[in-house]
């Protein structure tokens, strides 16, 4: 099986591990090979940076990028 996770799903999974996106993402991480495009990586960095800047998710400060 192949799954594609966009930035929105990955962010949702990181914020809400027990959500449907979270369960799907962590199942894929546990049982699959994860590939990520440069574009998705750049978008994740931009979104995480924005969220860190507005202070909504203090735990995002722990993410190294």
- Which tens digit of pLDDT belongs to each residue from 35-50? 888 999 899 888 888 7
Domain count along the chain: 1
Note whether residue 1 is domain-resident: no
Contact 13, 24 (CB under 8 A): yes
pTM: 0.68
Note whether residue 51 is domain-resident: yes
Q: What is the residue whose two structure tokens read 């809400």?
A: 16
CA distance 8 to 4: 11
What residue numbers bound the domain in which 13 lies?
7-62
List the chain residues with pLDDT less than 70. Answer: 51-65
């Amino acid at each position: 099986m192949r799954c594609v996770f966009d930035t929105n799903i990955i962010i949702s999974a990181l914020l809400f591990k027990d959500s449907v996106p979270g369960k799907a993402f962590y199942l894929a991480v546990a049982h699959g090979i994860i590939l990520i495009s440069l574009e998705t990586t750049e978008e994740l960095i931009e979104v995480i940076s924005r969220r860190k800047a507005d202070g909504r998710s203090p735990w995002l400060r722990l993410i190294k990028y």
